[in-house]
């Protein structure tokens, strides 16, 4: 879910093309919308993409009964965060989740979207670690000069965190450019690190836990050590859908907020048991083994409410990289907490 668009020329051209498609699709009305406030015909069935062997927050909220008369319709599984929000922008689905940097890129391409609630993040239980071998000489940011760092994709969440780590530890831009981020599939990262094909590997979730249990590696730093607990991604909808279906959006957003808090306050074994039941009864022939390693959704703020800092950090980073125009967008352009009723009684 943390993936964003790569920074190659080809992928940028493809991304801009998709942005044009999304803006055209929404402006021409191809996206599925409702009848508007007070029309009595607001959409009550929300199309969405899921994730294999996992339970998303909306799926959990629906199972807990937090959506009232709003229903979910699964249309398939997403291949990445950017693909998920692209599908929502073009009206193939009604909502999608991605890293906030990817949300910014989509909005910067004039796609009329808004983030309505946080979808994932990093905390002491769920985080990304930048791991080296136990006997590696790498002990500091400066030791990374000339070294290879394996991550799931470039120009995204994990490269942003790497850049922040280097800059906050005194490396100049010229020095930082000598650190080489490489794309390594997450399932191959541990092996690539142990075989010394890379010097640093980004590990998360079950893959991190298994690698650490195997011994012989140690974290150079983690994202939660660098930034503290933070929400990294959001659920987005199109502005048109929000305008025409405000009651549905409010039910969805508040239901997800309740699910976030339920997952925080319920004993972990009960959360895992509930998730396992959800996966088993939806009948998609999925393996539930990975659910045993679930720790948290990592969302920092109560009820998933979105703070300015959830976008400002990435606005600054993308602006420095020249991927968006500095100052063109501000956090309040990108999200709204209007429909999140959590904590309002």
pLDDT in tens, 250-295: 999 999 999 999 999 999 999 999 999 999 999 999 999 889 889 9
CATH number of 9-122+229-333: 3.40.190.10
CATH number of 128-226: 3.40.190.10
Strands of the sheet containing 128-133, edge to edge, are 180-183, 148-151, 200-204, 128-133, 217-222
Q: CA–CA separation, 316 vs 325, rounded Å?
A: 10
For the record, the structure tokens of 338 come out as: 């209007």
Mean pLDDT, the chain, as a whole number? 90
Is the pLDDT confidence value at 5 over 90?
no
Task: Give percent above pLDDT 90 in the chain.
Answer: 81
Q: Do domains 9-122+229-333 and 128-226 have the same CATH topology?
A: yes
Give bridge partners of residue 62 from the DSSP assignment: none
Residue ranges of domains in the chain: 9-122+229-333, 128-226
Is the pLDDT confidence value at 4 over 60?
no
pLDDT in tens, 72-98: 999 999 988 899 999 999 999 999 999
pLDDT in tens, 181-225: 999 999 899 999 999 999 999 999 889 998 999 999 999 999 999
Q: Angle 81-89/9-27 helices, nearest 10 degrees?
A: 30
C-alpha distances in Å from residue 154, one per residue of 3, 6, 42, 163, 321: 8, 5, 39, 12, 13
pTM here is 0.85
């Amino acid at each position: 879910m943390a993936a964003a668009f790569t920074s190659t020329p080809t992928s940028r051209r493809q991304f801009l093309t998709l942005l044009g498609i999304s803006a055209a699709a929404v402006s021409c009305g191809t996206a599925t919308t409702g009848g508007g406030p007070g029309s009595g015909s607001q959409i009550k069935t929300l199309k969405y993409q899921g994730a294999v062997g996992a339970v998303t927050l909306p799926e959990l909220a629906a199972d807990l009964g937090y959506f009232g008369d709003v229903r979910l319709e699964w249309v398939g599984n997403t291949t990445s965060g950017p693909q998920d929000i692209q599908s929502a922008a073009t009206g193939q689905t009604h909502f999608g989740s991605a890293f906030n940097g990817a949300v910014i890129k989509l909005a910067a391409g004039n796609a009329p979207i808004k983030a309505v609630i946080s979808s994932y993040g990093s905390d002491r239980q769920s985080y990304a670690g930048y791991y080296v071998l136990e006997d590696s000489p790498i002990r500091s940011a400066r030791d990374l000069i000339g070294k290879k760092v394996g991550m799931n994709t470039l120009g995204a969440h994990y490269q942003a965190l790497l850049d922040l780590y280097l800059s906050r530890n005194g490396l100049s831009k010229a020095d930082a450019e000598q650190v080489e981020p490489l794309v390594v599939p997450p399932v191959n990262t541990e092996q690539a690190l142990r075989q010394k094909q890379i010097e640093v590997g980004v590990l998360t979730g079950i893959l991190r836990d298994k690698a650490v249990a195997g011994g012989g590696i140690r974290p150079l730093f983690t994202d939660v050590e660098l930034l503290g607990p933070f929400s990294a991604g959001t659920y987005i909808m199109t502005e048109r859908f929000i305008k025409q279906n405000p009651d549905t959006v409010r039910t969805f957003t508040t239901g997800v907020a309740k699910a976030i808090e339920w997952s925080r306050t319920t004993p972990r074994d009960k959360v895992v048991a509930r998730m396992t039941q959800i996966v088993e009864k939806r009948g998609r022939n999925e393996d539930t083994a990975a659910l045993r390693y679930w720790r948290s959704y990592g969302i920092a703020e109560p009820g998933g409410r979105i703070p300015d800092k959830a976008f400002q950090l990435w606005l600054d980073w993308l602006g420095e990289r020249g991927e968006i125009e500095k100052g063109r967008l501000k956090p309040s352009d990108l999200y709204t907490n209007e429909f999140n009723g959590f904590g309002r009684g």
